[in-house]
Chains A and B, each alone.
Chain A
Amino acid sequence: GAVVSQHPSRVICKSGTSVKIECRSLDFQATTMFWYRQFPKQSLMLMATSNEGSKATYEQGVEKDKFLINHASLTLSTLTVTSAHPEDSSFYICSARRRTSGSTDTQYFGPGTRLTVL
């Protein structure tokens, strides 16, 4: 159990276009999902926390108008990179928080989306 999917796995787009990435929890409900960005040989940097039914919380330095997040259901969160530029090229990974017993949580990661902006 605790499977998280992400689509697409890879996308190449032209500069100036928008790209939508979907993150789904397949076998559990996730009131909270997280979006990370990872550059080659670097750690995961949290971009934003996505809460079902409310506005996302963005980390300092992340432009909310450029990285639009929508968490419309308990199993789906989307990240839209608007007007993408080459510097937005990166590996984007989502995770979904699953509440196990009592108040304990575990985060499960999606397989990631490799975005290349030409």
Chain B
Amino acid sequence: GENVEQHPSTLSVQEGDSAVIKCTYSDSASNYFPWYKQELGKRPQLIIDIRSNVGEKKDQRIAVTLNKTAKHFSLHITETQPEDSAVYFCAASQETSGSRLTFGEGTQLTVNP
């Protein structure tokens, strides 16, 4: 089955700096890669996703890049703000096989004012 590894497990940045979180996956058949943000005790919220027919996607301060050959994808947050502090999870799935998501272990991002 699919295995997703996520690094780093914790990340602390100063407000205004950029943050990068990286994930690797094992199943070359995976073709959908969402990123979720989860605040303490709350539901995971989809913040951005990418499909394997594109290499990069951007939404305001958030961007995701995908390298299918190397089987890794990354989340980039620019101009970080304290409200970006949360746990971020990457995931991978095959959309044509029921969309079963395999999650990474999560990254605790702390943005210091």
List A residues at the B interface (Cβ < 8 Å).
4, 32, 34, 42-46, 49, 91, 93, 95, 97, 103-112, 114
Contact = CB atoms under 8 A, between A and B. Distances in A.
Interface of B: 32, 34, 36, 41-46, 49, 51, 89, 95-96, 98-106
B106 A43 contact: yes
A44 B51 CA distance: 21
Main secondary structure of the interface of A (DSSP, over half): strand
A49 B98 contact: yes
Contact of B98 (A32, A91, A111, A112): A32
A114 B42 CA distance: 10
B95 A105 contact: yes
Contacts of B44: 44, 93, 109
Contacts of B45: 109
A110 to B, nearest CB: 6
A112 B103 contact: no
Given A32-B98, A44-B44, A112-B42, A106 B103 contact: no
Given A32-B99, A43-B89, A107 B34 contact: yes
B95 to A, nearest CB: 5
